């Protein structure tokens, strides 16, 4: 049953709206500009900004004289009024960032993922977080929490990671509880793909209401969906499991019983294997060695960039597979645009941004209605960790109309 709303809910929502407007403006806004931006009355804006000033989230930052009348006071975010920690758990590397309220990376640490059991990995995670916080000099009281981005699927109720194919030995590991216990900070667990899309939404400029599908290129390939200024999580926070979409019926067989799935065509390992089959890379790598795959992948991309036609041909074929995948997603989801990102994206960006837009346009069911812009994420290779930290800030600060509803 749909619930109603009341005045206190309205007040909280409008406060989030105003803080969001000031944060997104970068340079700050005057009270009059806030009235224009939010549609709220001058009295409401005055009351709410006074509260935000008292709580230290914003500050007065100079006056502008604009013709006759009272000078306008610019209100600006206080980035040091809040922080969050973001962790990206990847089979090869763990990345840690400390973010301020403006979404800036204050401090960053990257470490190789230990080849030990999950509990020891979580202990290593906790001690790296302590080092990160201590080194930053930030008051622990100001840290809203820790966001962890992990490969899906996840069990959100239990806070566990369920059998991610590339994380050996991770079977229903209660990551959230163990890390919260070890650090004493609240922990949010989120899929790496979802975290990346939150990072994109939190960080980028322009309209926050444009919908996009985020195609995530990590050790595995995943997708996320943003709509109406928010990332859609799905019923169990597992939206975006696209590993078994068939992108090429002539492709190699997959363990799922089909052929040519994303899992055997589009992952960095699949791209390296394609190059090996084509004789572009030597065929002497140890199977499933994630570091060796990454090294070969980098070599392939570097050779393509340096003008090696055969290497470039492999990447163009992969771009075709990604265009087929993206068309399935955009035809199903009907979004405004497509964003590519994730740890492996930067190395493919040049070839993919050249090849994919035209191919996607030809496969688009809505090409008669609108074009589909394709772009790389505004967040770099650390998008998993930055996104995870943004998940914490976003859940605390972004206005959501559903927060207006009275609880059961």
Subset of residues 40 to 59 that bind a copy of itself, contact rule: CB under 8 A: 40-41, 44
Q: Which pair of tokens denotes residue 14?
A: 């409008």
Q: Restricting to residues 191-210, name those near a copy of itself by CB under 8 A.
A: 207-209
As a whole number of angstroms, the distance between CA 339 and CA 246 comes to: 20
Of 248 and 382, the one with the shorter C-beta distance to a copy of itself is: 248
CB of 52 to a copy of itself, least distance (A): 14
Other Cβ atoms less than 10 A from the Cβ of 124: the count is: 16
Beta-strand pair 143-150/187-191: parallel
Residue 317 is a binding residue for a copy of itself (CB under 8 A) = no
| Three-state DSSP state, 155 | strand
Is residue 18 at the binding interface for a copy of itself, with CB under 8 A as the rule?
Answer: yes
Element (H, E) at 364: none
Q: Closer to a copy of itself at the Cβ: 241 or 361?
A: 241
What number of other Cβ atoms are within 10 A of residue 157's Cβ? 8
Question: Which residues have a Cβ under 8 Å from the Cβ of 207 and sit 6 or more positions away?
Answer: none
Interface map 334-373 toward a copy of itself (x if CB under 8 A): xxx--------------------------x-xx-xxx---
Per DSSP, what are the bridge partners of residue 253? 259
**What length is written for the chain?**
408
In whole angstroms, what is the distance from residue 45 CA to residue 75 CA? 12
Q: Which stretch binds a copy of itself (CB under 8 A): 74-82, 279-287, 322-330, 383-391?
A: 322-330
By beta-carbon proximity to a copy of itself, the closer residue of 143 and 338 is 338
Contact between 221 and a copy of itself by CB under 8 A: the answer reads no
Segment near a copy of itself (CB under 8 A), from 103-111, 151-159, 287-295, 338-346? 151-159
Crossing angle for the helix pair 42-54 and 7-25, nearest 10 degrees? 80
Residue choice 107, 166, 244, 310 for contact with a copy of itself (CB under 8 A): 244
Among 258, 298, 317, 395, the residue binding a copy of itself under the rule CB under 8 A is: 258
Q: Nearer Cβ to a copy of itself, position 164 or 301?
A: 164
């Amino acid at each position: 049953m749909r619930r109603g709303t009341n005045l206190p809910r309205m007040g909280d929502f409008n406060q989030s709206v105003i803080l969001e407007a000031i944060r997104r403006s970068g340079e700050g806004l005057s009270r009059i500009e806030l009235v224009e931006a939010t549609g709220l009355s001058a009295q409401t804006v005055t009351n709410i900004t006074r509260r935000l000033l008292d709580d230290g989230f914003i500050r007065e930052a100079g006056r502008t004289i604009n013709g006759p009348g009272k000078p306008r006071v610019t209100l600006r975010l206080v980035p040091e009024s809040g922080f969050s920690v973001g962790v990206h758990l990847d089979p090869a590397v763990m990345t840690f960032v400390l973010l301020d309220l403006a979404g800036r990376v204050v401090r960053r640490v990257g470490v190789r993922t230990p080849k030990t059991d999950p509990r020891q990995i979580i202990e290593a995670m906790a001690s790296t977080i302590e080092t990160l916080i201590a080194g930053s000099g930030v008051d622990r009281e100001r840290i809203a929490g820790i966001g962890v981005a992990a490969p899906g699927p996840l069990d959100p109720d239990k806070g566990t990671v369920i059998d991610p194919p590339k994380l050996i030995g991770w079977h229903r590991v209660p990551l959230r509880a163990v890390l919260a216990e070890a650090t004493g900070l609240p922990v949010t667990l989120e899929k790496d793909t979802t975290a990346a899309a939150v990072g994109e939404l939190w960080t980028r400029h322009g309209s926050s209401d444009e919908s996009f599908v985020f195609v995530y290129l990590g050790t595995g390939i995943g997708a996320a969906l943003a709509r109406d200024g928010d990332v859609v999580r799905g019923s169990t926070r597992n939206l975006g499991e696209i590993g078994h979409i068939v992108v090429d019926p002539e492709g190699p067989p997959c363990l799922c019983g089909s052929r040519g799935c994303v899992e055997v065509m589009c992952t960095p390992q699949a791209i390296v294997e394609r190059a090996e089959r084509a004789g572009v890379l030597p065929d002497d790598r140890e199977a499933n060695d994630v570091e060796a795959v990454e090294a070969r992948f980098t070599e392939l991309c570097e050779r393509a960039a340096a003008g090696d036609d055969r290497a470039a041909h492999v990447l163009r074929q992969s771009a075709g597979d990604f265009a087929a995948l993206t068309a399935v997603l955009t035809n199903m989801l009907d979004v405004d645009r497509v964003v590519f990102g994730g740890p492996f994206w930067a190395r493919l960006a040049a070839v993919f941004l050249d090849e994919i837009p035209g191919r996607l346009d030809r496969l688009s069911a809505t090409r008669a209605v609108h074009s589909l812009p394709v772009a790389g994420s505004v967040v770099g290779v650390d998008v998993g960790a930055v996104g995870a930290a943004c998940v914490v800030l976003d859940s605390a600060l972004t206005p959501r109309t559903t927060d207006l509803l009275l609880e059961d």
